[in-house]
Chain A
C-alpha cells in the first residue's frame, strides 16, 4: 500500500510539469448580456465588478455584448437568432429576458431571477439544473410576505397597502399571490397597482397615489430599481411608509428594504460565469440562493414620515441603518 503510494507519488511528480503547462492561456471570452431593461444597468455593473474581482480584464479576456429591449421581451427573440453565430461563450440574462432565453439550448445561460426557476421551467431542480441554465434566485416569493410583516411591525396602524408591481417580470403573479396571502393573514387590505415595463412606471405611481393606502410595497425588479429614487420620492410625498426588496432602494430614500444583498448575488453569479468559462457544465451547478437577508432602514425617511422607530422592534433587527 505504502509502496504503491510512493510509486504513484513519484509518477505523479514526474508528470507534474506537463500538467502545469497545460493550464493557463488567456482566451477572449464573449459574454452576451441580455436584459429587457435599459441602461444604466446596475446588475451589469455588479456582474462586471465580480468578473473584475476574478481577474478578468474587459477587452482582453472578456468582452460583453449588451442587448437591451426595454419593456419588449418579444424584441429579444430576434436577438436569440444572433446567438447562432457561434462565438458566444455565455449568455447572462437578467429579469424577464430569461423567459425568452428558454429558446437557447446550446449555449450556457446564467440567470438572476426573483422568482422560482423551477416554476419557470428553465431548470429541473435547484440542486441539479440538468439544462444549459443555472444562476441565482432571490427568493422573492418567500420574502414577499415577510416584507408585509415588517412594514406592519414598523407601522402597526397599517390597514391598506398599495402594491406596486411590474407585471413584465417572471414569477410576478406568484409574488403577488404570496403578498396577498400575507396581507390576509395580517389583516391588511392589499391594493394591487400593476404596470408593465419602464414606460408605464409613471402611470403606475399615479395609480398608487390614488388608492388611498397607508403604505407602499414595491416588488423588486430592474424597472423599480432603476426608478427607485422617483418611487421613494413619491412615497415620501404621499407620506407612505415604503417597503422595497433591496437596500439600494433605501439608499435612494426608501424607508425599508428586506432582501438579499445584490452585490453578493451578482458577485456569486460572476463566479459561476467564471466556472462555466473554464469548462464546467451549467447543468451540474446548483442554483444559488442567498442565505443572508438584510433589513435596511432609512432613518432620514423615517423622520420625514414622522415614524418613531424607538417603539418598534425594527431598529435592533436592522443590518443596515441609513441616517
Chain B
C-alpha cells in the first residue's frame, strides 16, 4: 500500500530549488522595489523643487546683473546729459572742454567724448588716447549717433570690436534744447567686466552679457570677450537656448560643461544677460540626496537579500525535511521523525507527519502480525480481523452452509492404530483446508471426521450459492481422491456433503479469549441433515441452493424427503454425478459397506 503511493509520487519530480527561488525572488522584489520607487519619486520631486529654486536664484541674479548694467549705461547717459544742458555760445569751447575732461575723470569707461553744436559740427573732442581737439571741426550731422540722439534723445550704438578684440560702443545724448547740441561718448565695454565679474552665482556660477546678435560683451573671463566676434557662434547658441526656455534651461555652457542658464533682457541697450550655474553645483544638494538614497538602497538591498534568503530558507528547509521524511517512510523507515520548531503551520505539519509515521508503523506491525496469524487462521478471517471488527460482530445474514462427513470412519477408527488414524485425519484436514482456502470460504471447524464451512460470511461474496456448490464439488472430488488412496491402503472410508442456504445468525462467540466465529440457525441444521442424508460421493442441496444455481450447475431433484426436525417433507437436490468429473473407483462398494453405518 505505502509502496504504491510512493512510486506514483516519485515519477514526476519537480525541479529541486524552485520554491526557494520563488520565495527568495518574491520577498526580495517586495522589499527592494518600494525602496527604489520611493527614492526615484523623492529624487524627481526634489529635482523639480530644486529646478524651481534655481530658476528663482538665476532670475534674481540675472536681473541684478541687468540692473547694474543698466545703471552703468544710465550713468553714462546721465553724465552726458550734463554736457548738453546749455546752448553753445561763442567762445564756449574751453569751458566745454573742461566739462568733457571732467566727464572722463568721472566715468572711467568713457574713452572719448565728442560735443557737437546744433549744426552737428564737432566743437570739442577729448580722449584718453588721442589728442584733444577744440573749435569747429568735422561735420557729423549725418552720423547715425547724431540722428538717433536727435530722434530719441538717447541713442545706444551697436557693439564694435576695436581691432577685432576690444568691445566698444557709442552712446549719444541730445539736449532738450536743439541749441545744446549732442554729446557722443565712446565707451570701452571691458569696464562692464567689473560688474559681471562681481556676480557670483553660488560657488562657480556666473553671468555673461551678449548683444542682440550673440556677440559676447562681458564675461568673467575677459579673454573670451577679447576674442571679438570669433566666439559669437557659441554664445549666440547659448543666448538662443536660454532665451527659448521659459525658466532655467539645462544647456551646454560656453566651457563645454552642462549648465543651468537663464536669460534676462537689459531693456535700454537691447543686450541679454545670461546667468549660468554649472549643473554639478546647481544640483549638488539633490545629488547629495541621491547619494544618500543610493546608500540607503544598497543597505536596503543587502537587508532584503539577507531577509529574503532567511525567509525562503525557513520555508524551503522544512519542506525539504518533509520531503526527505516522505522518502524515508517510503523506504520503510517508520521510526523516522521530523524536527521542525518554526512555531507555525510547518511545525504543525511536521507534527501531523510524525503522527502519521507512527500510525503507519503501528499499521505495519499489525499487518506483520496478521501475516503471522494467517498461518493459523483462514486468510479471510485474518483479513477480517485486520480490517473490520464490526463484521465479526453478531448479525443476521444469508449464508451458505456446507457440511461434510466421512463415511465408515467409526469402523476405521476402531479397527486401526492411532498413528494410522492421525495420518488419515491429517491428510483429510489438509485437503479440506486447501479446498476452503482455494474457494475463500470460512472454515468454521472440524468435528472429528465432520467439517463445517461457511460461504458469504463474514466475507461477503457475489454468488454465495454457486460458490458453495463449486466448493462442495471440489471438496467432494478432493476427498474422494484421498478416499481412493485410503481404499487402496485397505481403509473403507467415504465422504458425503450437504449444502443449504438461508438466513443465519453469524458472529463471534466464546469466552476468555477463546473465540469462535460461527453460524446459527435452521439453515445450519438443514445442511447438517442433508449431509447425513447424503451417501458416499453424494452432494445434497436444499431447494434454495438449487434455485440459485439453476443456470450454472444443474441439480437433479431426488424428490420429497422427510427430514428430521422438519414437519413437512422437503425436496432434496443432488449434484449430478456427471459434475463430479473424477469418479472414484469402487465407490459403489464402499457405498454398500457404508450404508448401515450412517448415523
Q: Which residues of A contact B (CB under 8 A)?
A: 5-6, 8-10, 12-13, 16, 19, 125-128, 139, 142-143, 145-146, 149, 182, 185-186, 272, 275, 284-289, 291-293, 313, 316-317, 319
Contact = CB atoms under 8 A, between A and B. Distances in A.
Contacts of B258: 8, 12
Given A8-B258, A16-B280, 8 more contacts: A5-B250, A6-B47, A13-B286, A128-B230, A139-B129, A287-B226, A293-B129, A313-B98
A185 B131 CA distance: 9
A110 to B, nearest CB: 13
Nearest to A134: B223
Nearest to B288: A13
Contacts of A185: 131
Given A128-B230, A317-B105, A286 B165 contact: yes
Contacts of B230: 127-128
A117 to B, nearest CB: 11
B250 A8 contact: yes
Most buried by B among A182, A275, A313: A313
B101 interface: yes
Contacts of A19: 280
Interface in B80-104: 97-98, 101-102, 104
Nearest to B109: A291
A13 B101 CA distance: 55
B190 interface: yes
B101 A146 contact: no
The B interface, classified by DSSP as helix, strand, loop or mixed, is helix
A317 B250 contact: no
Nearest to A11: B258
A259 B98 CA distance: 21
Given A13-B290, A285-B223, A126 B129 contact: no
| Complex A-B, nearest 9 residue pairs according to Cβ-Cβ distance, in ascending order | A286-B226, A13-B287, A127-B165, A126-B165, A127-B228, A5-B250, A127-B164, A142-B129, A291-B190
Nearest to B280: A16
A287 B165 contact: yes
The A interface, classified by DSSP as helix, strand, loop or mixed, is helix
28 contacts: A8-B279, A9-B250, A9-B283, A9-B286, A9-B287, A10-B290, A12-B279, A12-B280, A16-B280, A16-B287, A125-B163, A125-B164, A126-B163, A126-B165, A126-B226, A127-B226, A128-B227, A145-B131, A146-B129, A146-B130, A149-B132, A272-B223, A286-B165, A288-B222, A288-B226, A293-B129, A313-B101, A319-B105
Contacts of A272: 223
A146 B101 CA distance: 13
B102 A316 contact: yes
Nearest to B225: A286
B226 A293 contact: no
Most buried by A among B127, B222, B226, B228: B226
B472 to A, nearest CB: 98
A20 B47 CA distance: 22
A186 B108 CA distance: 26
Contacts of A149: 131-132
B196 to A, nearest CB: 14
A291 to B, nearest CB: 5
Contact of B279 (A9, A128, A143, A285): A9
A135 to B, nearest CB: 12
Contacts of B44: 6
B217 to A, nearest CB: 14
A240 B226 CA distance: 40
Nearest to B257: A12
B47 A9 contact: yes
Contacts of B105: 316-317, 319
A317 B188 contact: no
A293 B279 contact: no
A149 B97 CA distance: 14
A289 B223 CA distance: 11
A186 B132 CA distance: 10
A264 B422 CA distance: 147
Interface of B: 43-44, 47, 97-98, 101-102, 104-105, 108, 127-132, 161, 163-166, 188, 190-191, 222-223, 226-228, 230, 250, 258, 279-280, 283, 286-287, 290-291
Contact of B227 (A9, A127, A313): A127
A6 B280 CA distance: 12
Contacts of B290: 10, 13
A143 B130 CA distance: 7
Nearest to A126: B165
A127 B163 contact: yes
A186 B47 contact: no
A19 B101 CA distance: 52
Most buried by B among A9, A126, A185: A9
Contacts of B108: 292
A74 B68 CA distance: 52
Nearest to A288: B226
Most buried by B among A12, A128, A182, A291: A291
Contacts of B97: 313
A149 B44 CA distance: 67
Nearest to A20: B280
Contacts of A285: 223
A146 B128 contact: yes
B166 to A, nearest CB: 7
Given A128-B227, A286-B226, A291-B188, A186 B129 contact: no
A143 B290 CA distance: 59
Contacts of A313: 97-98, 101
A289 B397 CA distance: 134
A145 B131 CA distance: 7
Contacts of A316: 101-102, 105
Nearest to B128: A293
A182 B133 CA distance: 12
A105 to B, nearest CB: 22
A182 B43 CA distance: 69
Contact of A143 (B129, B191, B223, B283): B129
A13 B47 CA distance: 12
A7 B262 CA distance: 21
Contacts of B223: 272, 275, 285-286, 288
A315 to B, nearest CB: 10
Nearest to B283: A9
B427 to A, nearest CB: 102
B240 to A, nearest CB: 16
B53 to A, nearest CB: 14
A136 to B, nearest CB: 11
B164 A142 contact: no
Nearest to A181: B131
A122 to B, nearest CB: 15
A260 to B, nearest CB: 11
A126 B166 CA distance: 9
A16 B316 CA distance: 44
Nearest to A290: B190
B131 A126 contact: no
A5 to B, nearest CB: 4
Given A5-B250, A12-B280, A317 B287 contact: no
Contacts of B227: 127-128, 284, 286
A120 B161 CA distance: 22
Contacts of A288: 222-223, 226
Nearest to B127: A146
